[in-house]
Amino acid sequence: MKDLFFLAFIAFVLLLGLRRPFLWVLLYVYIDILAPQRIGYSIITTLPLSLIAFAAAFGGWFALDRKEGARFTLRQGLMLALLVYCWWTTGRADFPEDALTKWDWVWKALLFAIFLPLTLTTRARIEGLALVLLLSVATIVIATGLKVVLGGGGYGELNFFVDDNSGIYESSTLATVAIGLIPLLWWFVKHGTIFRPHWTVTAFAVCLTFACLLVPIGTEARTGLLCIAALAVLMLRHTKRRFLFIAGAGMLGLVALPFLPQSYYDRMATIAQPGGDESASTRVAVWKWTLDYVESKPLGGGFDAYRSNRFTYTMPVKKTEGATTTVTYQEVEDKARAYHSSIFEMLGEQGWPGLGIWLLLHALGLWQMERIQRRWKRAGNEAERWIGPLAGALQMGAIIYLVGATFQGIAYQPVMLMLVGLQIGLNTYCLRIDSARAKLDRSASRKAVAARQMRGAVAA
């Protein structure tokens, strides 16, 4: 029954896309995030839904959609350069088979992010993409929040729609994405046109925000706690009553403390004492190994180059006998440990050139969103008042992603690359408005000069 529902919905959207090809772009976003082929049980698991939607999105735009207003930007060029560079490093990777497995989904994520801004030529399309992206993630977040409330959670124990700890269904990744999309959610509450501002929209936003905050708690993801802290700091910029906000956030935290399980406290304590946790200890060791690795291979070792690492580190071991607790230190040997950081993931796999492109890509995004906020901050026209707040929401989401990415290997996370595409689309939209206004101003100036010359000739 579940398979039939998904297939009927996808077939319906494919049919509607014959008149509105942009719907196929949204369909791919939905399928790529939610992955219904992994949720179903029978026929849907055998169909290449992602490939079908991918081909429809590209083919529909090339053959049926209008191209007016589409332009290729610097940030798209950076992603294209990164895509080509990843292809080159994959061909000379330390572990060719494993590298091809990762390349199989990375190239599609990068290519779609490059393509996406070309389709975002109107406010309706920008808002439509943002809404589908948000609601697709919300589907997973709501289910996760309900499981946390009704059945508890735990690190590595809370399964979502699929029993697969990868992609957006990986606990730390979902925690980062969920917190990062909260600012975008509240943009819809104030400026949405698909769902107009209404008390029902606000009520849904409150419940979804609560569910997003439950994800880091239920999954006991330490990165999620850091993302929540980053969100709180960023919100201070956009809050008029800062002292009231700080007091309210503090009170909310104090009220929540008694309801948190002891396992959550124990895991969060390892943030301050990483040496007492095996996962945290290996991260530091892997980062040191990566720095040594790129000294001999500055161009990187291709995808999954971490598989060649091998190192030893010291771990404290506590032993309790009655009221006495003793701590001894033992040496642990480990190998083939993942990077646990997007920065070191890029550095180890793509070397210094790849890391430089990736950092520049996101730095330019933060700068562009800041520029748009300041440029459109005091827009008096209702048709333009939404631009500045949307840029602010996208900037906050990008910063939260970068905070989470510092401690996770999610450099190519498809949802965040879609967020990059949304940023580029908004920036291009604003550039078109400014260009059209400049053209009108030049035209008006030429007419004014011609009128003055005509009056002078008549007077003469």
**Per-residue pLDDT tens for 268-327?**
555 555 554 556 667 788 898 999 999 999 999 999 999 988 877 766 666 666 666 666
Q: Which of 14-18, 321-325, 391-395 has the lowest mean pLDDT?
A: 321-325
Strands (E), 25-128: none
Cβ-based neighbours of 343, under 8 Å, separated by 6 or more: 355, 405, 406
Q: Write 62-68 long-range contacts (CB < 8 A, 24+).
A: 63/21, 64/18, 64/21, 65/21, 65/22, 65/119, 66/121, 67/118, 68/121
Please answer whether residues 390 and 426 qualify as being in contact, where contact means their C-beta atoms are separated by less than 8 angstroms: yes
What span, in angstroms and rounded, lies between the C-alpha atoms of 302 and 294? Answer: 12
Higher per-residue pLDDT: 247 or 70: 70
State the pLDDT at residue 163: 65
Q: Compute the average pLDDT of residues 431-449.
A: 75
Is a pLDDT exceeding 70 seen at residue 252? no
Cβ-based neighbours of 52, under 8 Å, separated by 6 or more: 14
Which pair of structure tokens corresponds to residue 328? 């001894």
Average pLDDT, the chain: 84
DSSP codes, 126-193: HHHHHHHHHHHHHHHHHHHHHHHHHH---TTT---SSS--SGGGSHHHHHHHHHHTHHHHHHHHHH-S
State the pLDDT at residue 370: 95
Return the half-sphere exposure (C-beta side, CA atoms, 13 A cut-off) of residue 90: 17
Please answer whether residues 244 and 174 qualify as being in contact, where contact means their C-beta atoms are separated by less than 8 angstroms: no
What span, in angstroms and rounded, lies between the C-alpha atoms of 443 and 460? Answer: 26
State the pLDDT at residue 311: 77
State the pLDDT at residue 429: 93
What span, in angstroms and rounded, lies between the C-alpha atoms of 350 and 361? Answer: 15
Q: Compute the average pLDDT of residues 2-22.
A: 89
Is a pLDDT exceeding 70 seen at residue 398? yes
Residue 460: pLDDT band (50, 70, 90) is low
State the pLDDT at residue 428: 94
Tell me the percentage of the chain whose pLDDT exceeds 90: 48
State the pLDDT at residue 457: 63
* CA-wise closest residue to 428 among 368, 383, 374: 368
Q: Compute the average pLDDT of residues 416-445.
A: 86
Residue 159: pLDDT band (50, 70, 90) is low
Exposure class string for 353-372: b at 16+ Cβ within 10 A, else e? bbbebbeebbebbeebbeeb
Question: Which of 6-10, 70-74, 331-335, 397-401 has the highest mean predicted lDDT (pLDDT)?
Answer: 397-401
Is a pLDDT exceeding 60 seen at residue 32? yes
**pLDDT tens digit string along 36-48?**
888 877 788 888 8
Residue 265: pLDDT band (50, 70, 90) is very low
Is a pLDDT exceeding 80 seen at residue 165? no
State the pLDDT at residue 267: 53
Is a pLDDT exceeding 90 seen at residue 170? no
DSSP 8-state symbol, 317: E
State the pLDDT at residue 278: 56
What span, in angstroms and rounded, lies between the C-alpha atoms of 449 and 129? Answer: 44
